[in-house]
Amino acid sequence: MIMKAFKNISLAFILVIIGPAILKADEDVKTLPPGTYQQMKHGKKLDKIWLGTDYDKTKGFKIGTVEYKAENRNGTVMDYMPKALATLAKTDSSFTLQVAIIKVTTKTFTGFGNKMGKVTVEGKIVDSTGKVVAAFVAAGSAGSWGSGSDDYQAACDQIASGMAVDLL
């Protein structure tokens, strides 16, 4: 009886100490201004997008920051995402792209030899004064059934391709 009570107290103590960290790991990182999320709609290729009236698609954007905020570190995503985005850049634009990689996942399906991953980003385009004129959330799949490996470069390319359709 005493051991059972001790186990329950120990478990409760562990949950109090570790619980917030476990819950935090499940939460998505939010990098955009709070009101922006409610204004977003589904894009042609991007998951969610908001375009302000001040954003001129014909001017494009130059690349500003690419921050890695995901809990899981992935060297391929860290190295390749700026390269994928650079293919879209217009260096003479007055707009600047800021991207945050907020989630990188990998799932292995035991017994099937399959791995699938996903890269999720949030981005905003700001004008020369720092005002947000466009924002988006996008995800790209890394891997496919039967591939046996993750292809995070393909995920980065999918995100960049979606941005080209909806933002340029």
β-strand partners of 123: 99, 136
Mean pLDDT of each 10-residue bin along the chain, 168 residues long: 52 46 53 90 96 95 95 90 95 96 81 74 96 96 61 92 96
Residue 72 confidence (pLDDT): 87
Residue extents of the structural domains in the chain: 29-167
Model pTM? 0.77
User: Do 139 and 59 contact (CB within 8 A), yes or no?
Assistant: no
DSSP assignment of 122-152 equals EEEEE-TTS-EEEEEEEEEEE--TT--S--H
Q: Which of 152, 150, 97 is nearest to 122 (CA)?
A: 97
Q: What class, spelled out in words, does domain 29-167 have in CATH?
A: alpha beta
And the tokens for 9?
A: 């107290």
Residue 79 confidence (pLDDT): 93
